A and B are shown apart, each in its own frame.
Chain A
């Protein structure tokens, strides 16, 4: 004997009405035959037989309301292919109760991305190594060129990256060295070429996808998140996407709301992505090389206003800065200021101004936003007992909110003042010069925030 059970016909159905039987005892049925109609709260559905055999008995007559899912509704004679047994303790909702399944982990900050086994350190600069004045733009170019020389699977694609030499000249001379198969001009088609890049990465290549700016990556964010970030997990570890999405992020100058936006917190929100936002040329080079070698998708946020600025870059072979490690840019004892990308420059200037007034500020360059180097931030706050965060993006749900919460979670008792956030004003970027200036963080705003937390 094989029981035919009341089926669930939607993700949420628990019971339904048995509206009609199309078969009666003595009928022979075959797989695929419609045997009954069932009414759910949404619709009337036909039920098809899976097993073949003769109907022995109708257990629930038509017209019966409120029949629970998995109740036997009819019985078949014989039928060698017995219906699969419902496990005794299996609830109708296969998902079960989430709170019972969640591991008993510490607060989320501790459980989220696994900590590296080895301590992350910047490479040593050998004594006598030459420091070369290099713009951020050329440091990024050098990083790509070195990695392309090293690995034939690395290639660059994006708008104007090849013949035009890059909209911001970041890919200057790469076409000449590597040819048009590895430096590829795409049509203006962000969603499409981001998907093509991820597909190529799934096949084992290591694409660098340049967005002319991250504002245009909004059209591609589906592939960055749904395809690149999630597929390793969804495939049980089978499908990797070693890919870098890079380009200028944040506010340029006088280009209006659609071309001036900081996406740091958008991408830093997503498990499966690494998110990097360097400040100076040495980090731009070292972190981009690390990003290209990383087996995971990396969102690499540059800043247009930094491209032309020169910094010292050590002339050493394979200058690689580890992803996931913040850098203390200036040591101090009275307050911790965190910042990333261009805002690091503001924080350093603010620290200079504060020093003149006798306030000693420690400046932490976050460098990587995911995974965030909480240890370095917390260690600093335990020393200074005060926190000011600085970011170009909007405040609500932002990087500063996350940094402050981690400090609250891990160093609450060390705080002598509530943390304060400095961030872009909560408006679309205005065009007018005076309004634009009012929107962005400034040295004065950082100084004022520090004075607030130090009660000066």
Chain B
């Protein structure tokens, strides 16, 4: 039932690559990376406050999974959420302006980095309590099941959240009621400063559903094609009424847990090795070169992405802070 990845499913050298899709993957992953680099810079300037968890290194997961989502499907994740929002199609301007706490932000400046939402994009947050989104995402799947609408809830969490009790309460109900949910575990190897080996009695997270009879699969989360293929299988399983599916994405975050984490719990060599040999964007760039795509096309995407991000940065600084009258609005829905 649960299985580790086969070598054949991984990495480069694929025949018949769709050039448009390849460039789309490049563009979307690059957007996340450039966006996050600028977010880090704005944080350094004091324009973003509090906590700010960057997604750099993990781009292939959100981008590859988004490729298998259909209209009406739901996405929900924890606090490392900027990448998922951009992949889901939320406006980078609104996301960046939320980071700076401005009226033009997607939550009008009231949510911040960890709390953004978009019904239109099917993005249900953005949750700050580790593991909380797992039960909520299972509830989104419950609504799909209740309405029999053929939609799926993509519920993301990390290797740290995988040890929370409510994850297993959710697994149990999801399989008991055959809810259409794909649990995507982004195993970036470190729960803040604690490596998975130091925190987890079993480190093969794709097997964590085994005692509930939930199938799981381990995936090279640095390879956007491996992510997409596994995502398609998992989504089909859930969509066809067979219940939940667990995908363990082996990935890596380049930056610290949040902006204030120097990440001294791992060696520089370890980080450099991943950047050099496993970078998800470099992989796609290699495929682009192999496909014989013109450098000018790549440069054009680079320039477009840069312009989008700079526009977002500009908006995030010029959008005003929320009006003080917003303090007491939206505490309740007025009946």
A residues with CB within 8 A of B: 5-11, 13, 31-32, 40, 42-48, 50, 69-70, 81, 83-87, 90-95, 101-103, 111, 113-114, 155, 181, 186-187, 189, 191-205, 222-223, 226-227, 231-240, 242, 271-272, 274, 293-296
Known contacts A45-B256, A86-B46, A236-B105, then 18 further A-B pairs from the complex at CB < 8 Å, ordered by chain A residue: A5-B45, A9-B259, A9-B260, A42-B260, A43-B264, A50-B38, A81-B310, A93-B49, A155-B146, A189-B173, A191-B165, A192-B135, A192-B172, A195-B169, A197-B139, A203-B74, A204-B143, A274-B332
Q: Are A195 and B313 in contact (CB under 8 A)?
A: no
Give which listed residue, A43, A85, A103, A231, contacts B327 with CB less than 8 A. Answer: A103
Q: Does B213 contact A (CB under 8 A)?
A: no
Do A236 and B139 touch (CB < 8 A)? no
B247 to chain A minimum Cβ distance, whole angstroms, is 19
Known contacts A50-B41, A238-B118; A195 and B146 CB within 8 A of each other: no
Q: How far is the CB of B270 from chain A (nearest CB, A)?
A: 14
Assembled-state Cα–Cα distance A101/B322 (Å): 10
A196, closest chain B residue (CB): B139
Verify B331–A271 contact, CB threshold 8 A: yes
A70: chain B residues at CB < 8 Å are 45-46
User: A237 near B329 (CB under 8 angstroms)?
Assistant: yes
Contact yes or no, B262 A46, CB < 8 A: yes
For B101, give its contact among A5, A94, A231, A240 (CB under 8 Å): A94
Distance to closest chain B CB from A202 (angstroms): 6
The segment from B14-22, B106-114, B220-228 that touches chain A is B106-114
Contact residues, B320-335 vs A (CB, 8 A): 324-325, 327-335
A53 CB → nearest B CB, Å: 13
Using CB atoms, name the residue of chain B closest to A237.
Answer: B330
A45 to B263, CA, bound (A): 8
Q: Complex formed: what's the CA distance from A142 to B128 in Å?
A: 38
Distance (Å) between the CB of A17 and the closest chain B CB?
A: 14
**Of residues B105, B166, B256, B327, which shows the largest number of chain A Cβ atoms within 10 Å of its Cβ?**
B166
Question: Is B129 an interface residue when CB atoms closer than 8 A count as contact?
Answer: yes
For B143, give its contact among A9, A86, A199 (CB under 8 Å): A199
Rounded to whole Å, the gap between the CB of A338 and the closest CB of chain B is 23
* Closest-CB distance, A58 to chain B (whole angstroms): 18
Residue in A86, A197, A203 with the greatest tally of chain B CB atoms within 10 Å: A203
Which among B34, B127, B142 is the interface contact of A31 at CB below 8 angstroms?
B34
Query: Contact mask B156-187 → A, CB, 8 Å, 1/0?
Result: 00000000011001101100100000000000
Q: How far is the CA of A234 from the CA of B324 in the complex (A)?
A: 16
A225 CB, min distance to chain B CBs, angstroms: 10
Question: B191 at interface (Cβ–Cβ under 8 A)?
Answer: no
> Are A239 and B260 in contact (CB-based, < 8 A)?
no
Q: Is the CB of B324 within 8 A of A101?
A: yes
Q: How far is the CA of A295 from the CA of B332 in the complex (A)?
A: 8
Among A31, A84, A237, the residue within 8 A (CB) of B45 is A84
For B33, list chain A residues within 8 Å (CB). 32
B273 at the interface (CB under 8 A from A): no
Residues of B within 8 A of A (CB): 33-34, 37-38, 40-51, 56, 74, 76, 100-101, 105-111, 115-119, 124-129, 132, 134-144, 146, 153, 165-166, 169-170, 172-173, 176, 256, 259-262, 264, 306, 310, 313-314, 317, 324-325, 327-335
Identify which of B47, B138, B314 contacts A196 (C-beta below 8 A).
Answer: B138
Q: Interface of chain A, helix or strand or loop or mixed?
A: loop
Contacts A43-B264, A85-B317 known; A11 to B119 CB distance under 8 Å? no
**With A93-B49, A198-B139, A234-B111 given, is the CB distance from A296 to B332 under 8 Å?**
yes
- The residues of A that contact B107 with a CB separation of less than 8 Å are 234-236, 238
Q: CA A233 – CA B107 in complex, angstroms?
A: 8
18 of the cross-chain contacts (CB-CB < 8 Å) are: A8-B43, A31-B34, A43-B260, A48-B37, A92-B46, A94-B48, A187-B176, A193-B169, A196-B173, A199-B76, A199-B124, A199-B136, A223-B136, A226-B129, A232-B331, A232-B332, A294-B335, A296-B332
Residues B117 and A84 in contact, CB atoms below 8 Å apart:
no
CB pair A239–B119 under 8 Å, yes or no, is: yes
The smallest C-beta distance from B33 to any residue of chain A, in angstroms, reads 8
10 closest pairs, A vs B, by CB? A199-B139, A195-B135, A7-B44, A192-B169, A203-B143, A10-B260, A236-B108, A92-B46, A199-B136, A236-B107
Q: How far is the CA of A280 from the CA of B82 in the complex (A)?
A: 50
In the bound complex, how far is the Cα of B263 from the Cα of A44, in angstroms? 10
Chain B residues with Cβ under 8 A from A43's Cβ? 260-262, 264
Q: Is there an interface contact between A94 and B47, defined as CB atoms closer than 8 Å?
A: yes
The smallest C-beta distance from A290 to any residue of chain B, in angstroms, reads 9
CA distance A274 to B335 in the complex (A): 12
Contact A222 B132 (CB under 8 A): yes
Chain B, residue nearest A294 (CB): B335
Collect the chain A residues with CB atoms within 8 Å of residue B169's CB. 187, 189, 191-193, 195
Within 8 Å CB of B259, what residues of A?
9-10
User: If the complex has contacts A192-B173, A199-B143, are A235 and B115 also in contact, measured as CB distance less than 8 A?
Assistant: yes
Complex-state Cα separation, A193 to B126, whole angstroms? 20
- With CB as the reference atom, state the residue of chain B lying closest to A37: B262
Report which residue of A9, A95, A227, A234 has the largest number of chain B beta carbons within 10 angstroms of its beta carbon: A234
B47, chain A: closest CB distance, angstroms? 6
Distance, CA A231 to CA B140, complexed state (A) = 15
Contact A195 B136 (CB under 8 A): yes
Which residues on A sit within 8 Å (CB–CB) of B324?
Answer: 101-103
Name the distance in Å between B101's Cβ and chain A's nearest Cβ: 6
Say yes or no: A11-B41 contact (C-beta < 8 A), given A191-B169, A192-B135, A202-B124: no
Most chain A beta carbons < 10 A, residue from B76, B117, B332: B332
Q: Are A94's CB and B140's CB within 8 A? A: no
**A7–B45 CB distance below 8 A:** yes
Q: What's the Cα separation between A236 and B116 when bound, in Å?
A: 9
Interface centre among B117, B138, B169, by most chain A C-beta atoms within 10 angstroms, is B169
Tell me whether A196 and B37 are in contact (CB under 8 A). no
Do residues A86 and B47 form an inter-chain contact, with CB atoms below 8 A?
A: yes
**CB proximity of B259 to chain A, nearest CB, Å:** 6
Q: Chain B's nearest CB lies how many Å from the CB of A281?
A: 24
Assuming A187-B172, A191-B135, A271-B331, is B115 touching A200 (CB within 8 A)?
no
B332's closest neighbor in chain A, by CB?
A296
Please indicate the chain B residues that have their CB under 8 angstroms from the CB of A181 in the complex: 146
Of B41, B110, B327, B328, which is within 8 A of A84 by CB?
B41
Query: Which of A7, A87, A92, A295 contacts B41 (CB under 8 A)?
Result: A7
In-complex Cβ contact of A199 among B48, B135, B256 (8 A): B135
